[in-house]
A and B are shown apart, each in its own frame.
Chain A
Amino acid sequence: MIELLARTVTMGTPLLYGSLSEVYAERSGVMNTAIEGIFLMGAWAGFVAAYQSGGNLAIGLLAAMLAGLLTAALYGWICIYLKQHQIVTGTAINILALGICAFFQRVIFGVPVTPLIVQPLQPIALPLLSEIPVIGPILFNQNILTYALFLLVPLANFVLFKASLGLSIRSIGENPEAGDVAGIRVDRLRFLTILFAGVMCGVGGAFYSIGYLGMFTITIIGGRGWIAFAICFLGNWKPLGVLAGTLVFGFAEAVAILMQSRGAGLFPNELFIALPYILTIVLTVSRRSFNVPATLGVPYRKEG
């Protein structure tokens, strides 16, 4: 059970990077529908940079952030400055990301004979804390990306609800005209928020390649970006809400991994693989009290 919960935290980590950033993006009024593609770019760029630098994971992470940033910049430019359709643009960028990763993986590595691997991030047992019974092995024997979230989640919550930056972000999502009148440059702030989301999602994607598996395949993300996207809805656009959401989904994934490794039981493996997706549908259906940002998905067009 402890192992299962520890794995819940591990598998929830990348989802939390994604969904936290999605909260910020959507609060500003922009859905980041390129999230799946940005995760993939992060996973790929992180792996390539780490591999080429002889296994330097810090370089890998930086590359993942940069790849996320650039992909988000393209998305933001089209959706925020050119005011084009967010869901359609996201779909296009997700396909493009798939093509770019698969194509350049081939350009760089050809058709490798042996699988390409790097040593992934190792868990670091925090002294003393990791020795607390039950909580220690679950929370304090994780890798550095998980620990970073211990700081990021409270910080994200504070900034969004208590700092003036958060107020500005929320106000342009609810009422961009008012924000504009108050002197906020709506498009610029939305763009910066999306860039931030791109960096976070780049890290989230890199978690799968260099933070956990130590390898890259083109199906490595397999819809997890979309799950992070869903968690933002389910978590009611709140940092603490998405924290709870990621734990639920992390648990579903942990159970799926455990059941798969145990081999054929009463239920087929495919059911467990599909579990997080089924869970999303069930939760999407049962969750009622949404506080959707008022202008979510609507580009801001100045009058005149």
Chain B
Amino acid sequence: MSSKTRDLLLTNVLAVAAGLTASGLLLLFLGANPLVTMGTLFGSLFRDSYTFADIFVKATPLMFTALAFGLPFQANLYNIGAQGQFYIGSITAVGLSLLLQGRMPGLLALAIVALVSFLLGGLWGGMIGWLKARFNANEFLVSMMSTYVALNLMNYLLRTFLMESKAEYPQTNPLAQAVWLPIVVPGTRLHVGFILGVLACVSVWVLLYKTALGFRIRAVGSNKDAAELAGINYKRLYVVTFFIAGALAALGGFTEVNGVQHMLVQGFNPGVGAAGIGIAILANGNPLGMIFAAILFGALNVGGTIMGQLSGIPSSINELMLGFVMVFVILAYYVREKLEDRREKARLKKAASL
């Protein structure tokens, strides 16, 4: 293990621990014993296979949204709109599933739904990249705002075209079982989407480090002007990168709708976009690392929810843990820079004394 990898693992483990400690200390304000409560959090994860499998269920959409931030990040682009792209995928998935179910074999319908969600999410995301390429529009702002547009689009559709037949709540009819994503482990909610998520992470890793496109993405990220001089069409790259990012986030919406919810409810999964950013930075931008980071966040999510049910801790503990962990992970970046600095200086000193 190189000293850099060791630094990365060590500082990040400490950062997560510090983040959890900070959130735990705040539990004192509720008169709860942090040690006992945190013990409940982690203990409850292993209480039965259903709960344990739920960690991976929760990790599934997070892998997709982490990639949606992490891939453009490699090109020095900021996609803060994964939440909206996730919603576009969810809307597409639920609408199309309701349309196709019963008219064709379930697996065929699922394949079409996945493909169309992927494409529409890609177009939604690709639009951001196109606006940046064509008009030099700030992608950070546009992607941020596109989330609010997608949210309102979803709310509108849930009130009108997609609203349940009972017309009581802003939600859709449940999907027929034929278009549910198959369960992988019987007796749990763990569905094929998790495997898709892992495959997506591996594919993006291959794309980034083993293909010419990935090389170009990283080249634009490290020095846009040099990349342009070397003949890389960075404008087209903006569109392609954002297309893939949007498409991946939308796939996350598809797996969540067809794999877990089996319907679309107003305001569901509001934090996946932001959590995705946290996961991407915890993994230091490495798509393979995002698998593990997403599982960690999934575990915190499941544990936090159970903690709420068992001991009346408000669900905002989830945002607290996420926020604190992210802040400490950023501090860990600083610590790593300092460690690397010190090693560099030691090397120089050694070289000078020879």
Contact = CB atoms under 8 A, between A and B. Distances in A.
A104 B29 CA distance: 9
Given A94-B274, A106-B314, A274-B149, A285 B137 contact: yes
A6 B157 CA distance: 33
Interface stretch (B104-112, B175-183, B193-201, B329-337): B329-337
A117 interface: no
Contact of A270 (B78, B156, B314): B156
Given A95-B319, A281-B142, A268 B160 contact: yes
Given A94-B274, A102-B316, A281 B323 contact: no
A304 to B, nearest CB: 12
Contacts of B135: 285-286, 288
The number of chain B residues touching the other chain, given as a range, is: 35 or more
B232 interface: no
A107 interface: yes
Nearest to A227: B145
A84 B314 CA distance: 31
A94 B271 CA distance: 12
Contacts of B8: none
A230 B278 contact: no
Interface residues of A, number: 43
Nearest to A97: B323
A178 interface: no
Given A82-B334, A99-B320, A230-B145, A88 B138 contact: no
Contacts of B9: none
B144 interface: yes
B213 interface: no
Secondary structure at the B interface, as helix, strand, loop or mixed, is: helix
Interface in B255-309: 271, 274, 277-278, 281
A270 B331 CA distance: 40
Contacts of B137: 281, 284-285
Q: A-side binding surface: helix, strand, loop or mixed?
A: helix
B87 interface: no
Contacts of A94: 274
Contacts of B141: 226, 229-230, 233, 280-281, 284
A288 B274 CA distance: 30
Nearest to B134: A285
A96 B152 contact: no
A7 to B, nearest CB: 21
B187 to A, nearest CB: 33
Nearest to A274: B152
Interface string B138-173: 101110111011001101100110000000000000
B331 A91 contact: no
Nearest to B320: A99
B327 interface: yes
B131 interface: yes
- Among A88, A223, A268, residue most surrounded by chain B Cβ atoms (within 10 Å): A88
A185 interface: no
Contacts of B155: 270
Interface in A64-102: 74, 78, 82-85, 87-89, 91-100, 102
Nearest to A98: B319
B156 A271 contact: yes
Given A104-B29, A107-B29, A78 B330 contact: yes
Contact of A285 (B131, B314, B326): B131
Nearest to A226: B144
A96 B324 contact: yes
B66 interface: no
Contacts of A132: none
Contacts of B99: none
A240 interface: no
A238 to B, nearest CB: 17
Contact of A106 (B78, B274, B316): B316
A273 interface: yes
A96 B271 CA distance: 12
B339 interface: no
A96 B314 contact: no
- With most chain A CB atoms within 10 A of its CB, the pick from B23, B145, B318, B320 is B145
A142 B334 CA distance: 46
B330 A92 contact: yes
A103 interface: yes
Contact of B317 (A92, A103, A222, A230): A103
B156 A91 contact: no
Contacts of B185: none
B327 A96 contact: yes
Contacts of B78: 87
Given A78-B331, A102-B314, A281-B146, A91 B153 contact: no
Nearest to A77: B331
Contact of A91 (B80, B318, B321): B80
B322 interface: yes
A212 interface: no
Closest 8 CB pairs of A and B: A96-B323, A99-B319, A102-B316, A99-B320, A92-B326, A274-B152, A270-B156, A277-B148
Interface of A: 74, 78, 82-85, 87-89, 91-100, 102-104, 106-107, 222-223, 226, 229-230, 233, 268, 270-271, 273-274, 277-278, 280-281, 284-286, 288
14 contacts: A88-B281, A88-B330, A92-B278, A96-B319, A97-B323, A100-B320, A102-B314, A103-B319, A107-B30, A268-B156, A280-B142, A281-B137, A284-B138, A285-B135
Given A92-B278, A270-B159, A278-B145, 15 more contacts: A85-B333, A92-B323, A96-B319, A99-B317, A100-B320, A103-B319, A223-B145, A223-B148, A229-B141, A270-B153, A271-B156, A274-B152, A278-B149, A281-B145, A281-B146
